[in-house]
Structure 1
Amino acid sequence: MSHELLLYLSKTVGLIWLMGFFVIVVIRACNPSRRAAQEAAARSILQDGEGPQ
């Protein structure tokens, strides 16, 4: 294999892998069944008794 072919393959496979990873992250983040866990994580950084006014 030549350097150009390896470079082309790595760029193509890397792009496809990153796009697939992005799609999986977006699907998991927008999944309605994970809403409770996301809200709990959002509230976990607040101190007790502190919240939206």
Structure 2
Amino acid sequence: RDAWIDPRDIAEEEALKTLEGVNTRVTKLAAVQEQDTQDIFGVMEDAQGALG
């Protein structure tokens, strides 16, 4: 039985796991950024309403 493991296969698997992790973090960051943006717009609208 051949027990040789090609290091390139391991590196590719690790790269894919890393990429998945990065994609997940970027997606979560984008969601937080969108919520923050909506919150800021809400505050701005409230401030404009108070002035007008």
Aligned length in residues = 36
User: What is the TM-score when the length of structure 1 is the normalising length?
Assistant: 0.57
Instruction: List alignment gaps of at least 5 residues for structure 2.
Output: 1-10
Larger Cα-atom Rg: 2
Partner residue in 2 for 1:21: 33
The share of aligned pairs that are identical, in percent, is: 6
User: What is the TM-score when the length of structure 2 is the normalising length?
Assistant: 0.58
Once residues 41 and 32 of structure 2 are traced to their aligned partners in structure 1, the CA distance between those partners, rounded to angstroms, is: 14
Tell me which of the two structures has the higher relative contact order, counting C-alpha pairs closer than 8 angstroms and 6 or more residues apart.
1
CA RMSD of aligned residues (A): 2.1
